[in-house]
Structure 1
Amino acid sequence: MKLFRKYFTFPTDTSAENLGINVLNLGHNIHPSNKPYPDGQHPDDYYFEWEKGRSLKEYQIIYIPKGEGYFESSGLPPQKIDAGTIILLYPDVWHRFRPEENTGWEEYWVGFSGAYAKYLLEQECFNAQKPIIKVGFNTEFLETFSRFIKIVEVREESYLKLSSFLLIQLLGIVYTSVLLSNQKKSRKEDIIDQIRNEIHQKWNSNIDFEQLAQSNNLGYVWFRKTFKEVLGTSPNQYHLLLKLRKAELLIQDSHLTLAEVAYQCGFESEFYFSRIFKKKMNYNPSEIRKRNSKPE
């Protein structure tokens, strides 16, 4: 897969500052396995050596939707990072992180400052000593980041203010996730979380959900009803949307043909893939590259 990487530096925008939040940088990177991290293309202001670590003058949200790694910060022991983890960085706090060498990882990040950001991240539910937030595979979070990047790439009028609104939306998702994680999970949620992890491990395979329920000592009717109750959609639809989201990223980040993308994502044919993609995502998969190929 061709690596996709964008770093943006935002100019100061008075209208955005009036919202109490100022976007400083934004990016998405797929770091492959068995490669040094950070690599040589990391911006100088954010580059760090593992032995020394770093501290920033801004807040950052880092989301790891795929892969594994490690994180350390002042006063905290090393912590394992799994797929579906948010790392919340505070200004002037020493830290360091890197992906597991044999897995690599995918990362999204946004750096920001401002009075509203400071107010929100000083709420009682947030804590610089608890920077790791587990959200799992959060499609709303990924879609917001994707819209964020597209708006900045196109740089249409008012993109700075739109960027601030999207950052507020991201912070709202993080805030909600922290509040929910502070509540004790029910037994149902624990079971569904475990099965959801299995679905993510087999995302591009045909999954027999009756067999999956049976292997977890569950009745299929109870499993299907509870899955929808906890996640708001059926197991089949969740799996389908997961594959479509992966396909969208492959189209955006690689030079694979649509037929190759369909095959890698477990669809029976390019025709079926294109038809179901259009139905569920409300646009044709071929439009993704057309949008990305437009000059800024």
Structure 2
Amino acid sequence: MKDFFKYLTPGEEDKQWGIYLNVVGTKHTHPDEEYPPKGHPSGYFFNWEKGRVLNEFQVNFITEGTGDLETKDGRFLVKTGSVMLIYPGMWHRYRPRGKTGWAENYIGIEGEAVNRFLSNPVLNPKTPVVFCGLKESLLDCYYNIFELCKKEKPGFQQIASGYSVRLLGSVISMVKNKDFKGKNIEITIEKAKFLIRQNIDKETNIKEMARSLNIGYSYFRKMFKLFTGVSPGQYQLQLRILRAKELLLTSDKAVKEVAYATGFDSIYYFSRIFKDKTGKSPSEFRKE
């Protein structure tokens, strides 16, 4: 894609949506080329000596080259496959290294939804560089956003904001999983998830399963929750309720049969848990 940047003027309807884009762009900076390039508004342009502070959140994906990002918390290496997260109100400066240059893809977003995203503990201004690797899924988000913003057809902000959420969600997921990738614990948790899903029609004893996987229960439970966001027991229950929903909607099985097919020995316990999780009894859910 050719270099370009575009500053957008979101309307009140865009702002009420909860997330909107202010700027998008892509730039290939050649070795020893002046940086940053001229032509940006005063609120965005900066030099290395002074740096800058933005009011928006920027997500900058580096797909070629190497550089440095500096904040008040230190200097961070930015290499191919890195994502720079520039937080609102954070003093910063960055640039490619002269010998390599770099290729960057960036968006600047604001809104109430963005503020909620930034409250996620995974997003930490003290670690503003995340290494994601050259993920096609990330680049696809940027390219879709760029095409939408170039044309500015009615409703483009809403569609582009959806890709922005997908982009940010992908980055958060990569941050959460970086401590697991390629390690034995990741393999163990994937085996556990497989066993739970495979035995969805019966009550799985999580402690016994951990023992069969040669891992201590307390450590297994802690790492499973870090990996999936829920405990092993809740993960199992969510799968069973999901399967129960499918059977209620797609089969003629009686509620009692659905309960047994998803590992519940008591129809009364099944009905109570189902209502707790869905807000409706199995019979009410089936009627809708």
Q: Same fold (TM over 0.5)?
A: yes
Q: Which letter does structure 2 place at the counterpart of 1:36? A: E
Identity of aligned residues (%): 26
- Structure 1 contact 74–95 (Cα < 8 Å) conserved: yes
Q: Which letter does structure 1 place at the counterpart of 2:136? A: T
Displacement after TM superposition at 1:63 (Å): 0.7
2:47 corresponding residue in structure 1: 49
Match 1:97 to one of 94, 119, 133: 94
Partner Cα distance (1:21, 1:53) in 2: 26
Match 2:164 to one of 162, 167, 180: 167
Displacement after TM superposition at 1:96 (Å): 0.6
Could you tell me the TM-score, scaled by structure 2's length? 0.61
Name the SS of the counterpart of 1:33 in structure 2.
Answer: coil
Partner Cα distance (1:94, 1:80) in 2: 17
1:39 corresponding residue in structure 2: 37
Task: Summarize the Cα distance change of 1:10–1:179 in structure 2 as closer, same or farther, 3 Å threshold.
Answer: same
Displacement after TM superposition at 1:159 (Å): 1.0
2:228 corresponding residue in structure 1: none
> Could you report, residue by residue, the CA deviation over 1:179-230 in whole angstroms, capped at 9, with x for unpaired residues?
11243642799xxxxxxxxxxxxxxxxxxxxxxxxxxxxxxxxxxxxxxxxx
Partner Cα distance (1:63, 1:21) in 2: 19
Name the SS of the counterpart of 2:37 in structure 1.
Answer: coil
Task: Summarize the Cα distance change of 1:91–1:83 in structure 2 as closer, same or farther, 3 Å threshold.
Answer: same
> Could you report, residue by residue, the CA deviation over 1:224-254 in whole angstroms, capped at 9, with x for unpaired residues?
xxxxxxxxxxxxxxxxxxxxxxxxxxxxxxx
2:24 corresponding residue in structure 1: 26
Matched positions, count: 186
2:3 corresponding residue in structure 1: 5
Partner Cα distance (2:184, 2:42) in 1: 47
Alignment of 1:248-267 (within 5 A): none
> Could you report, residue by residue, the CA deviation over 1:2-22 in whole angstroms, capped at 9, with x for unpaired residues?
x93322222223333333212
Name the SS of the counterpart of 2:99 in structure 1.
Answer: coil
1:205 corresponding residue in structure 2: none
Q: Which letter does structure 2 place at the counterpart of 1:186? A: K
> Could you report, residue by residue, the CA deviation over 1:120-163 in whole angstroms, capped at 9, with x for unpaired residues?
11211111111110100010000110111111112222112111
Task: Summarize the Cα distance change of 1:114–1:145 in structure 2 as closer, same or farther, 3 Å threshold.
Answer: same
- Structure 2 contact 24–107 (Cα < 8 Å) conserved: yes
* Bigger-Rg structure (1/2): 2
Partner Cα distance (1:184, 1:17) in 2: 38
Q: Which letter does structure 2 place at the counterpart of 1:173? A: S
- Structure 1 contact 16–164 (Cα < 8 Å) conserved: no
Gap runs ≥5 in structure 2: 187-288
Name the SS of the counterpart of 1:103 in structure 2.
Answer: coil
- Structure 1 contact 32–103 (Cα < 8 Å) conserved: yes
Partner Cα distance (1:107, 1:150) in 2: 16
Partner Cα distance (1:26, 1:159) in 2: 13
1:180 corresponding residue in structure 2: 177
Partner Cα distance (1:12, 1:151) in 2: 14
Partner Cα distance (1:8, 1:156) in 2: 15
Supply the RMSD in Å over aligned alpha carbons: 2.0
- Structure 2 contact 62–103 (Cα < 8 Å) conserved: yes
Partner Cα distance (2:38, 2:112) in 1: 33
1:241 corresponding residue in structure 2: none
Q: Which letter does structure 1 place at the counterpart of 2:59? A: I
- Structure 1 contact 25–110 (Cα < 8 Å) conserved: yes
Partner Cα distance (1:42, 1:143) in 2: 25
Alignment of 1:194-209 (within 5 A): none
1:130 corresponding residue in structure 2: 127
Partner Cα distance (1:27, 1:43) in 2: 14
1:140 and 2:137 equivalent?
yes
Name the SS of the counterpart of 2:17 in structure 1.
Answer: coil
- Structure 1 contact 73–94 (Cα < 8 Å) conserved: yes
Displacement after TM superposition at 1:25 (Å): 0.7
Partner Cα distance (1:151, 1:81) in 2: 28
Name the SS of the counterpart of 1:46 in structure 2.
Answer: coil
Name the SS of the counterpart of 2:172 in structure 1.
Answer: helix
Could you tell me the TM-score, scaled by structure 1's length? 0.59
Match 1:158 to one of 155, 159, 165: 155
2:193 corresponding residue in structure 1: none
- Structure 1 contact 13–160 (Cα < 8 Å) conserved: no
Partner Cα distance (2:52, 2:139) in 1: 26
- After TM superposition, the structure 1 stretch with the greater mean CA deviation from structure 2, 11-20 or 128-137, is 11-20
Name the SS of the counterpart of 1:72 in structure 2.
Answer: strand
2:108 corresponding residue in structure 1: 111
